[in-house]
Each structure stands twice: as structure tokens, then as C-alpha cells.
Homo-oligomer: A and B are copies of this chain.
Amino acid sequence: MAKKTQRFALISVYNKDGIDKVAKKLLDFNIKIISTGGTEKYLNKIGIETEKVEKLTNYPSIFGGRVKTLHPKIFGGILQRRDSKNDNTEKKKYNIPEIDFVIVDLYPFEDTVNNSKSHAEIIEKIDIGGISLIRASAKNFNDVVCVSSRDQYERFVNDLEENQSVFSSAKKKEYALEAFLLSSNYDNLISQYFNNGNLMVKKILRYGENPHQEGFFEGDLNDVFEKLNGKELSYNNLLDIDSAVSIISEFWSNKPTFAILKHNNACGLSTRSNIFEAYKSALEGDPISAFGGVLISNSNIDSKTSNEINDLFFEVILAPSFDVDALKILKSKKNRIILKLKNIDFSKISVRSCLNGKLYQDKDLVTDSMEDLRIVTKHKPNKSETDDLLFASKICKHTKSNTIVLAKNNQLISSGTGQTSRVDALNQAIDKAKKFKFNLDGAVMASDAFFPFPDCVEIASKNGIKSVIQPGGSIKDKLSIDFCNKNSISMVMTGNRHFKH
């Protein structure tokens, strides 16, 4: 019988906690330990004998420890295929040890960034040798067990015992999977740091959409706004703020505009010559839904407006700036979240979970403008109607589908939101308009998608609506156009559908 090959375990760990038990268990199975630097010193100190990497490679640790294990004797020891005749011949020829276990524990890169004082120090701590050891042993999981984090020590010691140090292929593959997850995540953090000098912060939220769901936000909210007052932001606050920032960004360079959102939809929005009037006019849209809402402005909030807003119970207010007096008034309720908006420019790609994967898409970055409008009726919208059509279309784009938005004089009158039928959306909008005593005569209507039937323009006409904006593209467009022509309604088509779910 051939002489049994001496098996080795290479141990290189940052945190020494628990490594004693691992090392002792390996020795129990007559596995020799190869080690270097701090790990070696620690193991020797607690009476565990090791083979020094430098002795094996006959090469010193150079460049302040930057290059220690990156040597063919070590990597050969890991990567050699035990079932290859050629590899076994070369192994003997070059006197390469058979490394069956690689145990690495890296200094977590999050901690590096959080605890290091200088950029140079952070760069210095980027691990090269350890990751290479992990990746090489995980690649050769057929022959090598890769322990890539001290979180696995306990399991590994149990596995050693249970399997009498001979691991099944499936078991070794499990360790290899965890190894590649770790290396992928490690480099992902480095790229984040290289990208903006920081890591994506995970902000644990009190809970998710509902109290029985856990949730967290990954990103740096300090880049979006400065928090001036109020309680912790919740998952639902963040969703609403996202919708609020999206909709106000459509009006960013316009005259003063104020929006009120509930459940991610605008229930009030208006553009006026000053922010006081804009707020009052936005609130008219739906003073009932506004209760507990999220408020956003594209303009500075002055004290006159603050005084007016102060009467409303709301959760969050966002604005690019606040007058000192205005802020003092708003801060009178300590729970109110007051955010000074710093940035409205985010990733152009969105992602969301779907089935067993994720849906990615470009965000809807098309805003309907004068150039998009194709007048399809005999009757043409006048200047004021055209303004209102574009105004309504912007709101429509940021309201959940199906939606119909009614507007007049740069004021959101009402909308039908999240409906399964377009007619229902319109009826709902009309009911709301009536409930809040709006005069729909001369109002305009925006639809996020085409009209499959002329029913919507019929209902609109009956209620005094005089102009319509919609993408067009139904095979029955003509029916809607014909009806408009007979009833002195103007209609423009944009070619841009704006579904939002």
C-alpha cells in the first residue's frame, strides 16, 4: 500500500477567536497546520505547532506583508488535482504539500471603512492573498475544504468530527458556494468604496410595509435630504417620499409648485405664482386625503405658508429650503418629519422583485412636451388648455395605473387611481371633483393609456371637460376622435404611454 500522504491545513485569519478549537481538531486528525504572520504567532503562543509558509516556500514575506502566500508551492498545494497522474508527478518533483483545508477569516471590509482613519489605510487593508486562497480552494472544492469565515468554525469543527475529516463532495461544494458569495460581496463593497468613497449604508427600519415585516433601506439618504426635525423615517414614508420627489421633479424648474401625496399618489398639486397660493390650491384637491400625507414643494417655504400648513396633520414635508421663521413654526410638532431636499437626481434604472427573480427597467424619463402633442381633432386646445394638458400629463405619469387625471388652471382637480378599468378611474375622478365642489367646465383630462372605447370621452363631455391628452394607439382611436369632433372637444395624442404600477 502506498504511504499515506501527509495532509495540510492552511490557516490565515484576522480574528483569532475560536481558531484554537479548529486547529486542535485538525491536529486530532493528524493534519499539519501551515500558517504565517499573526496567525502563526497566535497558534504558537497557545502551544500549537505550525509549519511556517516562508519555510515551505523558501521565500520571505515581502513589501510589509503584502506578498506572503502568493507562491506556487502554496497555490499548487491547493489547486493540484488529486486524481491527476501528471499533477501527482509534478507535486513530488517540486515538493509541493497537499493542502486539503484552507481556513481564512478576513478583516471585514465594512469595518475597514468604518474604523480606518485614512484612505491609504483602507486601501492597504484590501485583502489580496486571503481572497486568492479562498477562491483557489473553493475552485478546487473537489479536493479541498474552504472555510472562508469564522462564522463557519463551529459547523466546520462538527463536520470534521462527524465525517472523520473526510468530507463529502456535496459538503465541500456548500463551503465553496459560501466562499464565492463572500468574495463577490467583498469586492462589491470595495467597488462601492471606490465609486463614492463610502459604502452603501444599510439603514434598519423599524419595520417594513407592515409591523410584522422587517425592512431596511440600502443607500445614503444623507445624499437626498437633510433631516431637520421629526421621528424616524418608516418604510412607507420612504416609498411616499420617493413618489413625492419623482412628481415634484417634473415641476422642478417651474413656478412655485406644491404637492400632497398619500399612498404614493398625488391627491393635491398646484402651480401658482407663490408657494402660499400653491399650497392652498393643492390642498383644495382633496383636503380629506391630505390628512397624514406627505407634502413636497419645489420652492422655499416662507413663514406665511408655514402658518397655513401648520393647521394640517401631516407626516412629512420636503422642500429645497425653509425660512428660519417657517422652520420654527413647522417644528412646533416634534414628530413631524421635516426634510431639506438636496438632490433629486438618482439612478435611471429601477428594480423590483418579481416571481423568482427581479424586473429591471429604465425609469419613465419621458415628459410630454409641446413637441409631443399631435392634435387629432378639428377643435384645437387654446393656450391655457395646452398648459393644463401638459400639467395633467405630468401628474398622470406619476399616478398608479389605471389613472385618469382632471386638471384646470394648473390645479389638480382630482384623479382616479389604481383602477382595474379606465372608466372606473374617470368616474372616480368625477365623483371626487363633485364631492369637493369643483366646476369641471373647461377642465382637461389626461389618461395614462389609450382609450379602447369612446366611453371615457363621452363621460368627460357630459361633465364639461373640453380637452383631452392621451397616448393614442388604440385600433378604435377613431371612435373617440369622432365623438370629440362632434362635441367640440379637443384631443391631443402624445405617443407616450405612462403606465406606473
Q: Which of B210, B350, B499 contacts A498 (CB 8 A)?
A: B210
The answer, yes or no, to whether A2 is at the interface (CB within 8 Å) is: no
**Contacts of A213-227 to chain B: CB distance below 8 A:** 213-221, 223-224
Beyond the given A208-B361, A210-B364, please list 20 additional residue pairs across the A-B interface where CB-CB is below 8 A.
A63-B76, A63-B87, A64-B81, A66-B79, A123-B142, A132-B132, A135-B187, A177-B195, A200-B357, A209-B364, A210-B497, A210-B499, A214-B362, A219-B357, A221-B357, A286-B421, A349-B353, A351-B353, A352-B352, A400-B418
Count class of interface residues, chain A:
35 or more
Q: By the criterion CB–CB under 8 Å, are A360 and B79 in contact?
A: no
The answer, yes or no, to whether A432 is at the interface (CB within 8 Å) is: yes
Q: Within the oligomer, what is the number of copies of this chain? A: 2
The answer, yes or no, to whether A271 is at the interface (CB within 8 Å) is: no
| A355 partner residues in chain B, CB cutoff 8 A | 219, 221, 224, 238, 241-242, 245, 346
| A239 partner residues in chain B, CB cutoff 8 A | 354, 359, 501
The answer, yes or no, to whether A4 is at the interface (CB within 8 Å) is: no
Compute how far the CA of A429 lies from the CA of B90 in the bound complex, rounded to whole angstroms: 78
| A71 partner residues in chain B, CB cutoff 8 A | 70-72
Q: Which of B210, B289, B346, B427 contacts A496 (CB 8 A)?
A: B210
Q: By the criterion CB–CB under 8 Å, are B353 and A352 in contact?
A: yes
| A62 partner residues in chain B, CB cutoff 8 A | 72, 76, 87, 90, 94, 96
**Contacts of A187-204 to chain B: CB distance below 8 A:** 187-188, 190-191, 194-195, 200
Q: By the criterion CB–CB under 8 Å, are A359 and B215 in contact?
A: yes
**Contacts of A50-93 to chain B: CB distance below 8 A:** 57, 59-60, 62-64, 66-67, 70-72, 74-76, 79-81, 84, 86-87, 90
Known contacts A80-B63, A236-B501, A357-B217: does B420 contact A420 (CB below 8 Å)?
no
Compute how far the CA of A183 lies from the CA of B126 in the bound complex, rounded to whole angstroms: 13
Compute how far the CA of A136 lies from the CA of B220 in the bound complex, rounded to whole angstroms: 29
Known contacts A72-B71, A139-B126, A187-B183: does B421 contact A217 (CB below 8 Å)?
no
Known contacts A184-B184, A364-B212, A421-B286: does B135 contact A123 (CB below 8 Å)?
no
Q: By the criterion CB–CB under 8 Å, are A194 and B209 in contact?
A: no
Q: By the criterion CB–CB under 8 Å, are B209 and A361 in contact?
A: yes
Compute how far the CA of A209 lies from the CA of B362 in the bound complex, rounded to whole angstroms: 9
The answer, yes or no, to whether A288 is at the interface (CB within 8 Å) is: yes
The answer, yes or no, to whether A39 is at the interface (CB within 8 Å) is: no
Q: By the criterion CB–CB under 8 Å, are B289 and A421 in contact?
A: yes
In the assembled complex, the CB of A452 is this many whole angstroms from the nearest CB of chain B, namely 8
